[in-house]
Structure 1
Amino acid sequence: MVAKAGTNRITQSEINRPKEYLLLILLASLWGSSYLFTRIGLETLPPATLVAMRVTIAATVLLLVVWQRGYKLPTDRATWRNFLIQSFFNSFGAWILVAWGQQYVESGLATVLNSTSPIFVFLLTWLVTKHETVTARKVTGAFVGLAGVILIIGVNALQSLGQQVVAQLAILLSAML
């Protein structure tokens, strides 16, 4: 989808629905399968090593995209300090918590617990920045999304909810990061 120059609007004729749905399915497959692959990887690797490998591969791919598109990386310290902080919270720190938790929690339940991210983002934005208004539609949307994940993964994934509480809380904390 590309907006016309000078506008942020995309017309219906510019939307390629089959392509958009295929990209959505690809994203869901890649994102959802990461919990299964984390679980498999934890059979032979400690959480920190697994996450370090994952983040290194992702960073390498992103650097290749940046290089291929001809972009330059910033050179100032302030930007790199911000990158370091953001990478810890959004990548390494969050995935360490998930990987550690998945040593004790099945991947299906980990997926459901991590899918609470939109709820936490909504609540934290509302509570901290105060620029988000709470409407029934927004709250309903967040919980319908969570219910959708539960239906896709299967209600059976919730059977072990309440067991291994510390590991489940670690995964929930990663959803907040």
Structure 2
Amino acid sequence: MPPVPPLPRLPRPPPDRGAPGPRDTAVRPLLDWRLRFGALALIWGFSFLFIKVGTEAFAPLYVTLGRMVFGTAVLAGVLLARRERLPRERRVWGHLAVAGFFLNALPFSLFAYAELTISSTLAGICNATSPLWGMVLAVVAVSEDRPNRQRVAGLGLGFIGVLIVLGAWQGFSGQDPAGTVMALIASFSYAVGWLYVRRTLTGTGHSHLSMSGAQLLLGTLQLAVVTPVFAPAPDSLPVLPLLSVIALGALGTGVAFLVQYGLVAEVGPTTAMMVTYFVPVIATAAGVAILGERLSWNTPVGALVVLAGAALTQSPPRRKRTRRQPA
């Protein structure tokens, strides 16, 4: 799921942590980028289903910790296979620790807690608001990134879509406020994390694989310290929830990281970012078809409005016109 979803332009995203490292483009992909694009959308879309199934047997923090452990294991294996090293600079590790918190440990945990009381469908739609939060941060924190009217309209339209999804005219009946707020904060955390990454880790000279592996490792260590203190350890390991957590980590985090950054290096962050708009569609289909979640008319309508608003926020920022002096 956009666990590392491409967020909006500006401090944006997820994807882009600067130019691809020298080793990011060294291996020619075996599959066409369109196939990998579709696979990434499916993986992230099903991640919300995996979270829901995992939390049926395990505490949310343990679901997130398992996700991080298996995701880190995938990246560690690829790092070993390619004989790449993790960053060595203390400054880089310090910034990666902050990135691991805002891009992994915090949002992953919030989504897991949110899905205790809200549907995987709603969680997937809340995740799609990341570009909107990125737009807000662009206005507040990036003074040189002045939004044009189209991007401002997209921001307003997106949040109207959120109100439609939640059924605001009915007093948000049928939706758990706490769970919904947690999912929205998780989405906001992605935007904060990618703003931080763009400002502190661009141009480090390390490959995306090396940086991502270190970031996930640090996020895993953070959760490993906190989880035993605040969550009860599982007394059994039911097969289906366990498989869901493994898939969530190995596919939804580890493999997804590799596919995402490969797409960014090959087709650019703008095209790669478009996967964000397919994720809530797949999350909704999976939730309804597999988990039997109820779907009222306002949910898909509001989701379309959210996606339309998010798309508008991706229009290029206004550039100042310079008048040509007469010769």
Partners of 2:126 and 2:37 in 1: CA distance = 21
Do the aligned partners of residues 88 and 104 (structure 1) sit closer, same or farther apart at CA in structure 2, a change above 3 Å counting? same
| Cα distance change on mapping 1:63 and 1:143 into 2, 3 Å | farther
Alignment partner of 1:116 is 2:120? no
Q: Is the 8 A contact 1:112 1:146 kept in 2?
A: no
Residue-pair matches, total:
155
Q: 2-side partners of 1:61 and 1:136: how far apart?
A: 43
Instruction: Return closer, same or farther for 1:139/1:64 CA change in 2, 3 Å cut-off.
Output: farther
Could you tell me whether the CA contact under 8 Å between 2:132 and 2:158 is conserved in 1? no
Which secondary structure does the structure 1 equivalent of 2:80 belong to?
A: helix
- Within the candidate set 79, 82, 85, 1:72 is matched to 85
Q: 1:88 aligns with which of 83, 97, 101?
A: 101
Q: Structure 1 residues 27 and 141 mapped into 2: Cα distance closer, same or farther (>3 Å)?
A: farther
Residue 41 of structure 2 aligns with which residue? 28
Q: Which among 178, 183, 200 is matched to residue 166 of structure 1?
A: 178
Q: Distance in 2 between matches of 1:168 and 1:107?
A: 11
- Alpha-carbon RMSD: 3.0
The 5 A counterparts of 1:2-151 are 19-139=32-152
Whole-Å separation in 2 of the counterparts to 1:161 and 1:102: 20
* TM-score w.r.t. length of structure 1: 0.75
Mark the CA change 1:50 to 1:117 in structure 2 (over 3 Å): closer, same or farther. same
* 1: CA distance, partners of 2:80 / 2:157: 40
Identity fraction in percent: 25
Pairwise CA distance, 1:141: 5.9
- Give the 3-state SS of the residue equivalent to 1:24 in structure 2: helix
- Give, in whole Å, the separation in 1 of the partners of 2:56 and 2:36: 31
Q: Which letter does structure 2 place at the counterpart of 1:112?
A: I
Higher RCO, Cα 8 Å, sep 6+: 2
Q: Distance in 1 between matches of 2:79 and 2:144?
A: 33
TM-score (norm 2): 0.43
**Runs of 5+ in structure 2 lacking a partner?**
1-30, 190-327
Uncovered stretches (5+) of structure 1, i.e. residues with no partner: 1-17
Give the direction of change, closer, same or farther, for the CA distance of 1:89–1:25 in structure 2 (3 Å limit).
same
Q: Which moved more, 1:132-141 or 1:66-75?
A: 132-141
